[in-house]
A and B are shown apart, each in its own frame.
Chain A
Amino acid sequence: MSWWTSPATETQISHGDRFWLYVVAAIIMLLLIIPTLIVIPMSFSDSQYLEFPPEQWSLRWYGEYFDSTKWMRATVTSLQVGFLTLLVATPLGTMAAYALFVSGHRFAKTIFMLLITPMIVPVILIAIGVFYAFGRMGLNNSITGLVLAHTAMATPLVMIVITAALRSYDLNQERVARSLGATRIKAFFTVTLPQIKFSVVTAGLLSFLTSFDEVIIAIFVSGGNNATLTKHMFAALRDYIDPTIAAISTIMVGVSTVLLLATQFIDRRKK
């Protein structure tokens, strides 16, 4: 029996009978992937104009990018803010997720809902609110302000990843450790944390990416010497199109791919 006539599902429909599904799925997946990856060949074009496929290849736009103080400074800011957000949001979100998961307090659910509000409130509203409030506090255009805002955006994601990990972990192990004399803190660090460490790493990568890719808050709150890569990119896309963006986009796709493959790898290790 060939693959074509062999049953594909429990309802005994054959692969041949539902070949159309494979074709449809393949087309849609190509539509998802191509626009994501097309910036890569585009970035090696020699032309001023956006053309695809490029007629001549060159590294010209990478040269422009690496030679520009504006882009370099923005890249450093974005990396710095992303890294600081990772360092702040990961412990903050992990602590909160653990606390709310373990504590049976009647407020726990309410606090959880409060802490995931950044995912519910439209980002544009947060952005102008933060712009207004930070203006009063003198935090606009500062790294501190941006890290604070991005931490608020990343914390709910960290909490969701960690809560999911705690749900599939048997908390009795921690109780055993404590009944054998370990303090709660020691029990957490020696028994619980090692078992959810992969999720903590995933949560950290997610917080970095949340900050690194964030556009709207950055447009309002960052500026001057501390403008982020995304803020400059957005301005460039809206007002004039500079092919340097193709080079920067390629680098950003590279960063996302590496982080994504890292989480996939971690996922495999977990199992």
Chain B
Amino acid sequence: MPISPDIETPMLHGQELQSQKKREEWVLLGLSLPAIFVIALVVILPVGWLFYLSFVDGHGNFSLEHYQKMVEYKSYARVFITTFKVSALTTLICIVLGYPIAYFLAALPSRWSGIFMLAVLLPFWTSLLVRTYAWLVLLQSKGLLNDLAIQIGLWDSPVKLVHNMTGTLIGMAHIMLPFLVLPLYGAMKKIEPDMMQAASNLGASPVRAFFSIYLPLSVSGLVAGALIVFVLCLGFYVTPAVLGGGRVVMVATQITAILEHQFDWGAASALGVVLLLATVLVLYLAGRFFKFDTALFGKR
């Protein structure tokens, strides 16, 4: 199609173009409105509401009583300590178990890594209820694990492995492990093999090359994964509630207990607010050390 001669291109001024661009930017932003609406309705508004409730006493007046209780009552301190302990231990177990498999997977040729990766991805995609149930069965006193341990002589009579801290940690570590392995694997895949070769050529032993080249380069992925695991653990509900059998009371368990038994929205909200602040604080502190963008989308 020939360009029609009536178009008077030079008439468009820079200013006009500029305002056109501005207008288009706004129109484009408008496309995100439906998503903003849903998230405001489901997350921002309700959480804001809870935030307000946490600062109000039974008569609707401003008060800090819910936060005061948290400081004064020993039971709250215990809940916070348990939450921190479970989260930190789970993260530690995940680091110890996750690093070797991420390293193993990253070193495989892609033909094989795709297949072995399923060992990480299948649990990741499977409902955590299903996996929690499986552990409940495996760990019970007449379960497979106890049977096996007795048969090979690890212990003589069934050991209580579930409805306590042990069961909770085993279940949580199993559920969280893929969250650590996936970002770590991503970071390891980006390490140039040439670097290791160079270290080797310059006389470093394989062990030395690993510790002075590979490990430092994989740390960003490890931190990202550990952070995701730790933060998810802080607010975890299902697995501690089932495998802890009421003996492992974490913040999320406590919140639901307060709502179920006392129907005290103020106290439950205040706990929730503290949980949120702790999460944001951890992410903020970590964000000063590395970029989230890279963890979410990979490097460009």
Within B81-139, the residues touching A (CB, 8 Å) are 97, 100-101, 103-105, 107, 114, 116, 118-123, 125-138
Q: CB of B174 within 8 A of chain A?
A: yes
Complex: A49 Cα to B273 Cα, angstroms: 42
With contacts A50-B140, A160-B296, A167-B297 taken as known, whether A36 is within 8 angstroms of B238 at the C-beta atoms is: no
Complex: A95 Cα to B38 Cα, angstroms: 13
Q: CB of A126 within 8 A of chain B?
A: yes
Q: CB of A1 within 8 A of chain B?
A: no
The interface stretch among B8-16, B29-37, B149-157, B218-226 is: B29-37
Complex: A13 Cα to B199 Cα, angstroms: 13
Complex: A170 Cα to B265 Cα, angstroms: 50
Give every chain A residue within 8 A of B174 (Cβ-Cβ).
31-32, 35
Q: CB of A76 within 8 A of chain B?
A: no
Q: CB of B275 within 8 A of chain A?
A: yes
Contact, CB under 8 Å: B42 / A118: yes
Within B160-191, the residues touching A (CB, 8 Å) are 174, 177-178
Fill in one digit per residue for B250-282: 1 if any A CB lies within 8 Å of its CB, else 0: 011001100100000100110011011001100
Complex: A257 Cα to B138 Cα, angstroms: 22
Fill in one digit per residue for B228-240: 1 if any A CB lies within 8 Å of its CB, else 0: 0001001101100
Within A30-68, the residues touching B (CB, 8 Å) are 30-33, 35-39, 42, 49-52
Nearest Cβ distance between residue A265 and chain B, in whole angstroms?
Answer: 11
SS class, residues of chain B in contact with chain A: helix
Q: CB of B49 within 8 A of chain A?
A: yes
Contact, CB under 8 Å: B50 / A125: yes
Complex: A155 Cα to B37 Cα, angstroms: 12
Contact, CB under 8 Å: B35 / A115: yes
Give every chain B residue within 8 A of A72 (Cβ-Cβ).
none
The bracket for how many chain B residues form the interface is: 35 or more
Complex: A102 Cα to B132 Cα, angstroms: 42
Tally of A-B Cβ pairs under 8 angstroms: 273
Contact, CB under 8 Å: A128 / B272: yes
Contact, CB under 8 Å: A125 / B235: yes
Contact, CB under 8 Å: A233 / B297: no
Give every chain A residue within 8 A of B279 (Cβ-Cβ).
120-122
Give every chain A residue within 8 A of B252 (Cβ-Cβ).
122, 124
Give every chain B residue within 8 A of A237 (Cβ-Cβ).
129, 132-133, 136, 242
Complex: A145 Cα to B297 Cα, angstroms: 31
Contact, CB under 8 Å: B136 / A241: yes
Contact of A21 among B45, B103, B238 (CB under 8 A): B103
Q: Which residue of B lies closest to A180 (CB)?
A: B1
Q: Which residue of A lies closest to B241 (CB)?
A: A238
Q: CB of A98 within 8 A of chain B?
A: yes
Fill in one digit per residue for B57-80: 1 if any A CB lies within 8 Å of its CB, else 0: 000000000000000000000000
Contact, CB under 8 Å: A42 / B137: yes
Q: Which 3 A-B pairs have the closest CB atoms?
A: A122-B235, A129-B46, A99-B31
- Interface residues in chain B, defined as those with a beta carbon under 8 Å from any beta carbon in chain A: 24-26, 28-32, 34-36, 38-39, 41-47, 49-50, 53, 97, 100-101, 103-105, 107, 114, 116, 118-123, 125-138, 140, 142-144, 174, 177-178, 193-194, 196-197, 199-200, 204-206, 209-210, 231, 234-235, 237-238, 241-242, 251-252, 255-256, 259, 265, 268-269, 272-273, 275-276, 279-280, 283, 296-298, 300
